């Protein structure tokens, strides 16, 4: 089995927390280099200030993981594809649907693998929910994704800029679960987006979804102002009368009050296993559904202004 030489672009929190340790223990990958604007050094691989310098100095890199903020991901991904590299995209894949579709087409034209990772999809409980919902009619959906932005994103300026997604940075994780497990698509019918008066990205969002089939209630509440206990839950009801509850960010599933699946999170381990399979098969995996829901929320959303936010 081939070992792929992988490089990382942007050495921030998620790279330190997940990508570096997960690559280190996966025999299918070898960390070949990192590109870091600040020149952050990592163990066992050279650092370059730009991807261009990295590609020139280490020409046998097979693939890159683009782990920057979303606003700059498209240009780094396009440059990597042009350099002949396969590309793994951190979530959210790009800032616009148009950018993602262009990357998909460009990767296909160059016969490169493009992989949109949505880490919350890689949980045993999420897969169990998907299986349980197969062939069912969903009549009820309520997403409650409420956390304390100061706790999870301290000092991250990009998240409050246009294209930084604001509360949709975590919210898109919930949407990536929902688009993965629901047997039929939901659409955005109404979105109330609450922006701090000094920010270009929302701190809260309330969404009403619609669906092609009759339903009782389909909604989502995203809020970054929740202190104390943090809430990452999705409740789903079916026409057959079953009630599913995904809790703890999608790592625990209860059906009709009975625990069905709960395993420790190993999302990034599963992501890199999947990437190895995609590389072996020369197959891309481009899932634009979560991004499209967020784009539609911004397209149709009503803007509400609230108090300024200071970190």
The least distance separating ligand NAP from the CB of residue 142, rounded to whole angstroms, comes to 23
User: Which active-site residues does the annotation give?
Assistant: 91
The least distance separating ligand NAP from the CB of residue 1, rounded to whole angstroms, comes to 27
Q: Closer to ligand NAP at the Cβ: 38 or 111? A: 38
> What kind and span of H or E run contains 65?
strand 63-66
Q: Please check whether residue 145 is in contact with residue 171, taking contact to mean a CB–CB distance below 8 angstroms.
A: yes
Site for ligand NAP, rule CB under 6 A = 10-14, 36-38, 40, 67-70, 72, 90-91, 119, 156, 158, 169
Non-local (6+) Cβ contacts of 237 within 8 A are 138, 139, 140, 141, 216, 243, 244
Tokens of 117: 């990772």
Q: Please check whether residue 245 is in contact with residue 233, taking contact to mean a CB–CB distance below 8 angstroms.
A: yes
Q: Closer to ligand NAP at the Cβ: 162 or 210? A: 162
Q: Closer to ligand NAP at the Cβ: 154 or 228? A: 154
CB-nearest residue to ligand NAP: 12
Non-local (6+) Cβ contacts of 70 within 8 A are 92, 93, 94, 95, 163, 164, 165
The least distance separating ligand NAP from the CB of residue 182, rounded to whole angstroms, comes to 22
Tokens of 114: 């493009």
- Whole-angstrom distance, CA of residue 239 vs CA of residue 54: 54
Q: Please check whether residue 123 is in contact with residue 292, taking contact to mean a CB–CB distance below 8 angstroms.
A: no
The least distance separating ligand NAP from the CB of residue 136, rounded to whole angstroms, comes to 29
Q: Closer to ligand NAP at the Cβ: 95 or 139? A: 95
- Strands in 187-196's sheet, in edge-to-edge order, are 258-262, 252-255, 243-247, 231-238, 138-146, 217-223, 204-210, 187-196, 302-306
The least distance separating ligand NAP from the CB of residue 236, rounded to whole angstroms, comes to 23
Residue among 193, 83, 206 nearest 144 (CA): 206
Q: Closer to ligand NAP at the Cβ: 260 or 265? A: 265
């Amino acid at each position: 089995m081939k070992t792929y030489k992988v490089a990382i672009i942007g050495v921030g929190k998620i790279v330190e927390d997940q990508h570096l340790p997960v690559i280190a223990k996966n025999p299918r990958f070898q960390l070949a280099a990192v590109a870091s604007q600040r020149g952050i050094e990592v163990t066992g691989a050279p650092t370059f200030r730009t991807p261009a310098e990295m590609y020139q100095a280490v020409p046998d890199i097979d693939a890159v993981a683009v782990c920057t903020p979303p606003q700059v991901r498209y240009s780094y991904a396009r440059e990597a594809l042009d350099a002949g590299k396969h590309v793994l995209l951190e979530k959210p894949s790009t800032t616009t649907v148009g950018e993602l579709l262009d990357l998909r087409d460009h990767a296909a034209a160059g016969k490169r693998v493009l992989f949109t990772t949505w880490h919350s999809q890689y949980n045993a409980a999420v897969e169990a929910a998907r299986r349980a919902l197969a062939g069912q009619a969903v009549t009820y959906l309520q997403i409650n994704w409420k956390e304390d932005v100061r706790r999870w994103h301290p000092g991250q300026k990009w998240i409050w800029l246009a294209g930084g997604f604001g509360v949709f940075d975590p919210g898109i994780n919930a949407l990536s679960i929902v688009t993965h497990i629901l047997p039929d698509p939901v659409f955005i019918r109404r979105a109330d987006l609450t922006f701090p008066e000094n920010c270009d990205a929302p701190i809260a969002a309330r969404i009403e979804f619609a669906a092609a089939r009759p339903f009782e209630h389909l909604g989502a509440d995203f809020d970054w102002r929740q202190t104390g206990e943090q809430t990452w839950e999705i409740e789903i009801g079916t026409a057959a009368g079953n009630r599913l509850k995904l809790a703890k960010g999608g790592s625990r599933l209860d059906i009709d009050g009975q625990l069905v699946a709960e395993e420790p999170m190993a999302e990034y381990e599963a992501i890199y296993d999947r990437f190895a399979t995609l590389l072996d098969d020369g197959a891309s995996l481009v899932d634009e559904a979560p991004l499209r829901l967020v784009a539609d929320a911004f397209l149709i959303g009503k803007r509400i202004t609230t108090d300024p936010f200071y970190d």
